[in-house]
Amino acid sequence: DVKVTQSSRYLVKRTGEKVFLECVQDMDHENMFWYRQDPGLGLRLIYFSYDVKMKEKGDIPEGYSVSREKKERFSLILESASTNQTSMYLCASRVSRGGPSYEQYFGPGTRLTVT
């Protein structure tokens, strides 16, 4: 079974703090993704990575950065947390962008509250 784990289920941070969200997958997947999910807006892509050391902006990258130094780990960084970044953050991984398997496997999510 594919397993995607996220470092925290719940996190409370203060405005202006630097926040690190970690995601680890154990299936040697090439592609990894960070989304945020808000009521009525669905899942929105923040950043993604098709391979180690690679990163690309998604639809809402402002205020975020990412790091992928190892294949299994993809980190999301909030440089200076703001209240509008209060959300559910979901990490996902996928075998690759090509080939027959496009299924994305999601981690359990991190509910971040910025006060």
> Under the criterion CB under 8 A, does residue 17 sit at the interface with other proteins?
no
106 DSSP β-pair partners: 92
112 binds other proteins, rule: CB under 8 A: no
Q: Is 60 in the site for other proteins (CB under 8 A)?
A: no
Comparing CB distances to other proteins, the nearer of 51 and 79 is 51
Q: What residues contact residue 55 under an 8 Å CB cut-off, 6+ apart?
A: 47, 48, 49, 66, 67, 68
Among 11-19, 22-30, 67-75, 105-113, the segment contacting other proteins (CB under 8 A): 105-113
Q: Is 67 in the site for other proteins (CB under 8 A)?
A: no
Residue 23 interacting with other proteins (CB under 8 A):
no
DSSP labels, 19-82? EEEEEEESS--SEEEEEEEETTTEEEEEEEESSTT--EE-S--TTEEEEEEETTEEEEEESS--
> In the complex, what is the shortest distance from the CB of residue 56 to other proteins, in angstroms, rounded to a whole number?
9
Instruction: Convert residues 74-103 into a mask of x (bound to other proteins by CB under 8 A) and - (unbound).
Output: ----------------x------xx---xx
Whole-number minimum distance, CB 22 to other proteins, in Å?
16
What does DSSP say about strands 19-25 and 110-114: parallel, antiparallel, or unpaired?
unpaired
